[in-house]
Amino acid sequence: MTEPRDEEQLTAQGFRRVYAELDCYDGPRAGLADVDGSPHYFQGYDYDHADAADEYLVWPASEAAVALEREQWAIFAGWNRRYEAGSAGPESHPGHGGTDARHDELTHLLAVHRQPPADARRLVGELGFDKGDRYRAEGVDYWFRWRPAR
């Protein structure tokens, strides 16, 4: 893992913000991040547990989908703050379903947007980390630098 950098350094080095993490397993597998100057979904394409950049399918996210994703992410980030403070337990995680009605509604509304279209691009995502908290309302502590897949 690289040393955390400030946001200006990351931006200057070509890294772009990640707004929401939808799936993580030994690293980011799916989420919402800036690609080419606008929010895009990303979904792991070719994951091999290697200590190298991974390939992702990426596709544009509509303004409406971005607003809903950010709302759902804020619900999760709020829960995570309470969890880290010891005032919420894992059983209250909003992703389990049945614990937060709005989170559940957003999951339903967003399902269609989270499916990669046939014309999704394949890009390689290299991770960089900032100095902030792991999970926060504006996103996560990792950023992506994107390049075309070979």
Q: Answer yes or no: pTM beyond 0.75.
A: yes
Decide if pLDDT at 53 tops 90.
no
pLDDT, residue 26, reads 82
Closest to 39 measured CA to CA, from 77, 3, 57, 65: 65
Residue by residue, DSSP assigns 67-103 as HHHHHHHHHHHHHHHHHHHTSS-GGG-GGGSSS-HHH
pLDDT, residue 2, reads 67
pLDDT, residue 69, reads 98
pLDDT, residue 46, reads 61
Closest to 17 measured CA to CA, from 37, 3, 1, 2: 37
**Contact residues for 74 (Cβ-Cβ < 8 A; gap 6+):** 137
Single-letter amino acid code for the residue at 107: T
Decide if pLDDT at 123 tops 80.
yes
| Eight-state DSSP code of residue 4 | P
4-16-41-101 Cα dihedral, nearest 10 degrees = 60
pLDDT, residue 47, reads 59
Count other Cβ atoms within 10 Å, centred on residue 61. 24
